[in-house]
Structure 1
Amino acid sequence: MALAADFLPLDVLPLILENLHRRDLHTCAQLSKAFHHAATPLLYRTLDVRVTTDKRFRKSVVVHPSTTILRKPEYAKYVRHVHENGAVGYHRPDLMDGCRKALRLCVNLQGFTWSYDSADGTDEADFLGYLEILKVLPLRELVIRTFCGLSDDAWDRLQDFTGLTKVSIWCMEGKPRILQGWSEKLGASLTHLELGVSSLSRAHPLYLLSHLPNLRVLRLKGAPSAAILEILTFLPRLATLDTEYFGAVALSRYDDVPVANLRDLTVRTSSVHIQGFQQLWPWIRRLTPRESLESFTLNAFSTQGEALIPRSFLLDMAQTHRNTLKHFTADTTQLTLADIECLCTVFPKLETLSCSTIWSPDMVLYENAVRKANNLREWRMNLNNWLPSHARVDQSQNTAIGSAIRRMMEREGSVLRVIGMGSVVYRGVWAYKTAEDKVEFEITSNVIQDNWD
């Protein structure tokens, strides 16, 4: 391996190693000086605390990276992100002084994440202590995930942080904090915002978000559906939206056309009504009135049975996004094989498709569904009525499925290389056969979830 490092440019080596898992990086760091020099900054780029339970002694075990940083402070310059957990102060208060000292050494820190699931707010003092240290570091991203809400004192101190590009706040309880008094200070820099706070539906976020014209990514949990339509009318740079749909948007007083051209849209919703999602489809169309959408994800659950995506919705979306849509994900809603064929036809740029459909032993139907999808690379299906729990695929059916998978992948013009059918994922690759001295197309299959156990 040392010889490989001699011939490989050192500036290229980190680009290769960053694709490895952490365990493999540890191995690389011990191979040679060159690999150690390239792997060490990647190993210490993100520091996570681990809180586990020792079942033998029935106690919590805390493993904190601060001990390593204090022992080797020269590694602190590589740290870009720190994930802290309030459970450290609860289980190991003796570590807190070292945690704060280690954080002060991370002079190149860009992101900080604080998480704690306690409902009593006992972690407040620890969190405030970290905020005092973060004020003098070049922080750009701040993520807060707690069960209880933020106190007035904590909120006042957060407003001292300016120049942030990402803010993410998720709280189960407490006041519906929506950047009150803070949005004006973040307007020039903030591009990524996530808000999932209690009672958000009772607090109108429009005025506060209007101070953030540079937002590119927005994720909201609990915001009124009508408010989403209004938000998109004053966020011209917004490209990614992840939100919920609660219905009743037909009564919205706002009829302006959104100025945002969304590229990625994720909608989460559920229904307990027999009518299902009748208003959902025109609402989605209103969010994306112009050609722009590249990725669409729908997570829809219904207590009245399997939710269906209307064919008319697919055709309406194609009128606008025919030449842009590349990724379509609807794992919890059902599409017939005829609908899938329609989808692959009206969206010729489609590259990935993940959906729920009915299992059929006639594999020709699956082949016909994607015969016009010349850009489709990955197709995953949640199969309803997929083989009873007591049955297994017999050999003849296995052969038929394998033959159909091969025909779909080897069809002229096809780039399809991943097909998931229920719990089985088939992958096609070109492999070199040393013995025959030739390249052959191989298809392998793996069970990702055994439904029969």
Structure 2
Amino acid sequence: MRFGMALPGPNVAAVDCLPLDVLPLILEHLTDRRDLHTCAQLSKAFHNAATPLLYRTLDVRVTMYTGMQRAIVLHPSTTILQRPEYAKYVRHVRENGAVGFHRPDLMDDCRKALKMCVNLEGFTWSDDSAEGTDEGDFMRYLDILQTLPLRELVIQTFYGLSDSVWAKLQDFSGLTKVSIWCMEGKPRILQGWSEKLGASLTHLELGVSSLSRAPHPLYFLSHLPRLRALRLKGAPSAAILEILTFLPQLETLDTEYFGAALTRYDDVPAANLRHLTVRTSSVHIQGFQQLWPWIRRLTPRPSLESFTLNAFSTQGEALVPRSFILDMAATHKDTLKRFKADSTQMTLKDIECMCTVFPNLESLSCTTMWSPESAPYEEAVQKANKLRELRLNLHDWRPTHVRLAGLNNANIEVAVRNMMLREGAALRLVGIGSIVYRGQWIYKKAEDGSDKVEFEITSNVIKDVWD
């Protein structure tokens, strides 16, 4: 039964008998707010369970239609002021600087509603205006946030932050997550703020001007020894190794690679990374030669569980070297579970190698050259007993309808079924080009009325990554 569907009267009474602490755990898996809204109207028990989830995150919508002089602004403050009892459920608020520009008359109500969110944990401020954030509006929000139990602060602006706003931010302490993304403006890298956040900060994201134009972009990180997750945009590649030497608790790193760079730091990283994402690009394929040893230096001990690589070259698709796969397996054979390299090519033999040398691999996604319908897809995963998801993006110049005509046939479906039903296999999702196959065991009625179990595979066409 889909949770969004209405229940018959007798069933509603039965649902009301469920323990109240169970319903929220079930309903929180609903991703569509419309389903939660429907659940809130089913019964008193469902209303009590769904309402806190509906108001957990408040998000403003600003829509500009062609030909209109002023945008349409839908702000949750209207509902909070009408139903103040819902304010206690709010945990995160996302505000947009465009509200003050298009509807300045709403600003007082926005601030009144924010004050009522006494259990607020996170606040996001977004402003893509090239003129810069309205300092007065943002400062008034910051004044209110200082009175609330804020733990997470996310700031996304185009132009940057003024000196007065930055000085105000340094009054905040006890934050566990800080995220600052500024396209332009002065570089802001927690100067004078990191010392106050060192005892609490575990998640940090800094982008563009925060690092690229700063004279000493890494000094402040030495004050943040409790960091567990770090995302950097614009940091020098050579500096990443230094960062890992004084962040012993770091588990998640998302960074960029700008090419080989000399570094005086040869120390082994203190961090044991569990999740690593590397983003890079090059004007020629040879630019990736130093990438592979650099990645291995970031993870010298068995620890890595997931690895994501976004590598683009203007001179063709980069290939993942077989030597890199084998070297990674020598260290992370028993730990690696997820490998994603959608923008990098791997042959079917490389995929077979991955599935062989990483016995605990659960998810694999990469790009491979188009192969005819008789391609040995089954052989590539025959040793992957823990693999649950396989996605093969097909690099092919032919139009989508031609690729679909070559793939949507009985031979591919037979290969997918054989991969999923192979003895010992856990595979339940296979994506080949533009088609995604999902398999599951279902109950059906036999002709004699008895129950039987069948393995059913459904397929859906999705947008091809090369279109």
TM-score by shorter chain over 0.5: yes
SS at match of 1:54: coil
Q: Specify the alignment match of 1:372 in structure 2.
A: 383
Change (3 A) 1:322 1:395: closer
CA distance, structure 1, for counterparts of residue 21 and residue 382 of structure 2: 44
Q: Specify the alignment match of 2:35 in structure 1.
A: 24
How does 1:205-354 map onto structure 2 within 5 Å?
205-249=217-261, 251-354=262-365
CA distance, structure 1, for counterparts of residue 156 and residue 465 of structure 2: 34
SS at match of 1:173: coil
Q: Specify the alignment match of 1:50 in structure 2.
A: 61
Change (3 A) 1:191 1:450: closer
Deviates more, 1:3-12 or 1:189-198: 3-12
CA distance, structure 2, for counterparts of residue 273 and residue 431 of structure 1: 50
> Are the equivalent residues in 1 in contact too, given 2:177–2:202 (CA < 8 A)?
yes
Change (3 A) 1:395 1:261: closer
Of 12, 18, 24, the residue aligned with 1:8 is 18
SS at match of 1:164: coil
Change (3 A) 1:269 1:451: closer
How does 1:148-167 map onto structure 2 within 5 Å?
148-167=159-178
Q: Specify the alignment match of 1:423 in structure 2.
A: 434
Amino acid at match of 2:249: R
- Does structure 1 residue 439 correspond to structure 2 residue 450? no
> Are the equivalent residues in 2 in contact too, given 1:359–1:386 (CA < 8 A)?
no
CA distance, structure 1, for counterparts of residue 284 and residue 435 of structure 2: 34
Q: Specify the alignment match of 2:421 in structure 1.
A: 410
Gaps of 5+ in 2: 1-10
Change (3 A) 1:274 1:291: closer
Change (3 A) 1:394 1:25: closer
Deviates more, 1:124-133 or 1:359-368: 359-368
Deviates more, 1:18-27 or 1:293-302: 18-27
Deviates more, 1:50-59 or 1:221-230: 50-59
> Are the equivalent residues in 1 in contact too, given 2:182–2:210 (CA < 8 A)?
no
Change (3 A) 1:423 1:362: closer
CA distance, structure 2, for counterparts of residue 374 and residue 411 of structure 1: 9
Q: Specify the alignment match of 2:8 in structure 1.
A: none
Change (3 A) 1:394 1:83: closer
- Does structure 1 residue 197 correspond to structure 2 residue 208? yes
How many residues end up aligned between the 2 structures?
Answer: 452
Instruction: Compute the displacement of 1:247 (Å).
Output: 1.1
Instruction: Compute the displacement of 1:441 (Å).
Output: 0.2
> Are the equivalent residues in 2 in contact too, given 1:389–1:451 (CA < 8 A)?
no
Change (3 A) 1:48 1:164: same
SS at match of 1:232: helix
Instruction: Compute the displacement of 1:434 (Å).
Output: 2.6
> Are the equivalent residues in 1 in contact too, given 2:161–2:186 (CA < 8 A)?
yes
TM-score (norm 1): 0.97
SS at match of 1:237: coil
CA distance, structure 2, for counterparts of residue 39 and residue 275 of structure 1: 54
Change (3 A) 1:253 1:400: same
- Does structure 1 residue 99 correspond to structure 2 residue 110? yes
Change (3 A) 1:340 1:397: same
Instruction: Compute the displacement of 1:59 (Å).
Output: 3.6
Q: Specify the alignment match of 1:449 in structure 2.
A: 463
CA distance, structure 2, for counterparts of residue 450 and residue 161 of structure 1: 45
> Are the equivalent residues in 1 in contact too, given 2:400–2:464 (CA < 8 A)?
no
Change (3 A) 1:128 1:395: closer
Instruction: Compute the displacement of 1:124 (Å).
Output: 1.8
Instruction: Compute the displacement of 1:5 (Å).
Output: 2.4
Change (3 A) 1:324 1:196: same
Change (3 A) 1:406 1:63: same
Instruction: Compute the displacement of 1:396 (Å).
Output: 9.5
Instruction: Compute the displacement of 1:347 (Å).
Output: 0.5
Instruction: Compute the displacement of 1:57 (Å).
Output: 4.2
Of 147, 169, 177, the residue aligned with 2:158 is 147
How does 1:178-197 map onto structure 2 within 5 Å?
178-197=189-208
Instruction: Compute the displacement of 1:200 (Å).
Output: 1.4
Q: Percent identity of the aligned residues?
A: 77
Cα deviation code 1:139-198 (max 9, x no counterpart): 000000000111110011001100000000000011111100000000000000000031
Q: Specify the alignment match of 1:83 in structure 2.
A: 94
